[in-house]
Amino acid sequence: MMFPVSAAILDNINAYQRSLESYSVRLLPFIKWKATGERSVRVLNETADFQRFFDATATPHAEFLYEWRGKDNRYRSSGGDEISGILGYVQA
């Protein structure tokens, strides 16, 4: 099943950012990095497993998606448009 979440993310960007930070803040002690410029960093150690095995079903990630799921039919109706846009991009 595919969920068009882009509209929900944009409409609730602060809540989405908090859900991402809840995961990343726990990783920071394990990531070695250095600043390389304005708003840019270079990661110095291997971090692929942190992204590869990311559990988006854990709270608050699943809670974020669940909260908008039934609130607004716009998200349901935007699915076709979003999928069409993705297919158009892939075919180009």
Q: From first to last of its 92 residues, what are the pLDDT tens digits of the chain?
A: 455 667 777 778 888 888 888 888 888 999 999 999 888 999 999 999 887 877 777 777 777 777 766 665 454 555 556 566 666 666 66
Q: Would you say residue 1 lies in a domain?
A: no
Q: Would you say residue 72 lies in a domain?
A: yes
Strand, coil or helix: 13:
helix
pLDDT of residue 68: 67
Q: Would you say residue 11 lies in a domain?
A: yes
Q: Would you say residue 75 lies in a domain?
A: yes
Structural domain containing residue 40 = 6-91
Instruction: Tally the C-alpha atoms within 13 A of residue 37's C-alpha that lie toward its C-beta.
Output: 1
Q: Give me the helices (H) in 1-92, please.
A: 6-11, 13-27, 48-52, 61-69, 73-91
Q: Would you say residue 32 lies in a domain?
A: yes
At 80, list the tokens. 């076709």
Residue located via tokens 């079903």: 57
Domain count, the chain: 1
Residue located via tokens 């803040």: 25
